[in-house]
Structure 1
């Protein structure tokens, strides 16, 4: 395909393996990630030899989520006092482009099997929610953490997770921003199985992808298409709504406080302003 900065892509025996490479610590999602992800999946969709995809993270962690250090500059014009239509409109476009990046995974022509190890936070959960099947290592931890930094999650977790873990579990995670371990993730259905370590989780993902790839490819694509069909409309509508909501209401002193507290490594103090 091509050389990527945020990913490696290897194709063998009808299975594509897409691995997050960072380059930020913990495979945090910066500009390269958001730009390259839809291009990677467009290339895989165009390759008829690909019948399944394994999605994995390199190193000790799947992903720390949004790279605030790199992407924080995108928030700056919006956080200025009295941000007007121009900055809000540009931020709305940014949200839509980031949503489209993860939607490219959800709309993959072939099933996507994720292998998760270590931390999977924020945008990392958005990403695995777009996969079809998820395996975790025993040390995996998950967090829909956006609320803790003053953000309404807007890249797909709130739209895709209800069908995966149910409304009650999602509301608990999204309202609190709490961390959960792999066993809790298994109990609520966020992951299909928990394996001993990262290598075992990746091996399980590869084995399932190989099983999928051994079946008639058009039939598998048909099954995925039929299963996805009832959810496409509600998910798309929910993404449009949250993009508009955040463009209107995200600018706040609490958001500034949340981001500042992350960099200063201290608890935030929110005032509802």
Structure 2
């Protein structure tokens, strides 16, 4: 049986109340790791998950606030974990801000900055800050694992894909640039680029998706379907379309992504570093 060497390790998962973050937290806890659950708004969900993961041992998980738009938050969160457990071994940076929904037929030049900035800038900078504070202690202790979760991987050429691609390229460049510097100190760093999962917000009916900052409707929200592109038949929900586009006929799940994160961040991984792993079912 493969020994992942995670028993007693300390793990910080940002975005821990999201689908991928919560799946990762459960997967690490199942391997005996202690897990800090960083959340932004969903305190009750984070505390409930901490209680679930701790079981009778209340010291195995705890919830901690984390704000992507607060430059001081990453430092405080890492310090809280190090103070509580004496050190941080693993960082899984799964928190991200989403840009506002872009209509499928909206033109690139019509997309306002407030739609793409949260994805390209406001989610990328916190990942850098959190990794900076986490890696310092890892290097001192001579062991550490960092996994940065990139924005979902949409089909190539899909509307809005350019903004996701910029964010993914930034994380890919970060891990490639750091690998040579921290590898000698026992720290491995990788990025994981998930595909769309069944819970992904982009697969929800557009009528149920919120607009950015409660702004009034604009032409971007009422972009008509071109005459040469018929509307999606009602009997083909988005999840079915995505599933049928993969060779195995099913979508990647948060649990699939969590298992990959656990291996990359385990002692069993002694050589994979500086890589970006795409988990999109060959989509």
Q: TM-score, normalised by structure 2?
A: 0.30
More helix by proportion, 1 or 2? 1
Q: Which has the larger radius of gyration?
A: 2
Q: TM-score, normalised by structure 1?
A: 0.31
